[in-house]
Structure 1
Amino acid sequence: MDVKSNFADAIIQDPAFLEGSASPKSRVINLLDEVDKHIDALRRDLLSLEERKDALLTTLDTIRQSDLVAQLSSEDNAEVEDYADRLMRTCSSIDINITTYRDQRQEEALFEVNRLIDSLVMVLRSDPQTARSRCLSYVSACSSRGTSCKPVELGCEEEEEEEVEASSSSQQQQFYPDAVFEEVMFLCTPDDRKRVQRRLSGLLAYIEREMAPLLPTTL
């Protein structure tokens, strides 16, 4: 079924639907199944767009904080900042609204996840090293290898593959997934897990960029 077609017209005009051997209920259910597939595809497309928007905002922020921008003269810097601000406003104005339906347990789990991350941000102000370690353990808990409440262990054959999948931190592999965070993340919806993982990745990148002078080179 063409996603652009009018489904009501399809019901009226499709001979297979009107004269098929299946019962009317079965034919209606089949048509609804087709609509369901298109809804799922639309939702995936919107989630992908939401991720692209977040990635663009992160890229703009990274460019603004880059050493290359720091080398500009005051006049050139002001021009670049105005340009970057305009792009940030334009990108932020793109409203992608995807409602995630949650039961009570999923609502409570998301609330607890956000509470833990907010607590992490508070720790960041006074103890960036501890905040970084905790953030790494949260990121590890979000990963596909962080679902068993066991330390992340890599064999020699797995290291090359994992380097491609890892986040910006080269030392993420050395951290245990946080058991409490992992448990509540498991109770969240798949959409919420993706959003939380993106939030943590952005937070980790911020910590490593802004707090680099205060952090040791190794842990």
Structure 2
Amino acid sequence: MAEKKMETSTFQCEEFKTTFPFASAVEIVEMVSELEVQEDGGNEASNKSREPRGLLLKMLDSLDSDVERLRKNAMDLEDKRETLLGSLDLIRQSHALETISDAEKKEIEEYIETITSRCRTIQIKVDTVRDQQQEESLHSVNSLIDSMVLNLRLDPMGTRGRCLAYLRSFCRCEDDNEILVSIASKLQPMHVDKGFESALLGCTLDDQKLVKRRLRGLLSYIISPQNE
């Protein structure tokens, strides 16, 4: 009897491996154990809680959580890639390049292009579902930020104020206000760029989070000592 039960368990484990190829060994054993308890009998309520549908839903809930974690990690990596590319663009536009010789400038620019090319070989794509209006809003936000970056060399102080004004669109709590004041208190009075805020509010929440991270990274670079 015990041998027959072992054979059945082995078969069920193999069956579950085929059905759930990404499940861990522990998860598969737990599922088989729960099915065996159901087959061995017990009260009706206990059996109902262990029916195949319940086990399938339990596995799907676990997989759903894994997908969400994977999506978040991928979005973090995607954001890191964009931050690196943004930093390279800022260095490319830096006033410091005007203070070195042409030969040195060429060397630096070639190095920038090498790093940029390597960074662009990293392809990370997390699709965010957007309607037409959200697509247009995101395009407007990115265009405003790109324009700000291009203006850094010509007007460093103005670019600082503009970046901070964009970041102020996110300030909805005391902590954010304290962070911004500590980063750029010398740029008082601080205000919100209404045009940017309007475009931002039309973006998805995921896009808003990415834009906020990008702007904070840009502001940290803009106020760094080498750009004073």
**Normalized against structure 2, the TM-score is what?**
0.58
Figure out how many residues of one structure are paired with residues of the other and give that number: 187
Point out where structure 1 has 5 or more consecutive residues left out of the alignment: 147-151, 213-219
The aligned residue for residue 79 of structure 2 is 51
5 Å matches for 1:83-98?
Answer: 83-98=111-126
Structure 1 residue 108: deviation in Å?
1.5
Q: What is the Cα-based RMSD across aligned positions, in Å?
A: 4.4
Residue 172 to residue 51, structure 1, CA distance change in 2 (3 Å) = farther
Q: Which moved more, 1:131-140 or 1:192-201?
A: 131-140
Match of 2:20 among 8, 17, 36: 8
Q: How many angstroms apart in 2 are the aligned matches of 1:16 and 1:42?
A: 29
Contact 2:137 2:203 in 1 (8 A): no
Classify the secondary structure of the residue corresponding to 2:169. helix
Match of 2:206 among 191, 198, 202: 191
Match of 2:133 among 91, 105, 108: 108
Over the matched positions of the two proteins, sequence identity in percent amounts to 29
5 Å matches for 1:20-31?
Answer: 21=47, 22=49, 23-31=51-59
Point out where structure 2 has 5 or more consecutive residues left out of the alignment: 1-16, 39-46
Q: How many angstroms apart in 1 are the aligned matches of 2:109 and 2:144?
A: 32
| Greater C-alpha radius of gyration | 2
Classify the secondary structure of the residue corresponding to 2:20. helix
Residue 130 to residue 84, structure 1, CA distance change in 2 (3 Å) = closer
Residue 172 to residue 193, structure 1, CA distance change in 2 (3 Å) = farther
Q: How many angstroms apart in 2 are the aligned matches of 1:142 and 1:34?
A: 33
Deviations 1:57-95 (A, max 9, x none): 23333444262x544443333233222211111112211
Q: How many angstroms apart in 1 are the aligned matches of 2:223 and 2:215?
A: 12
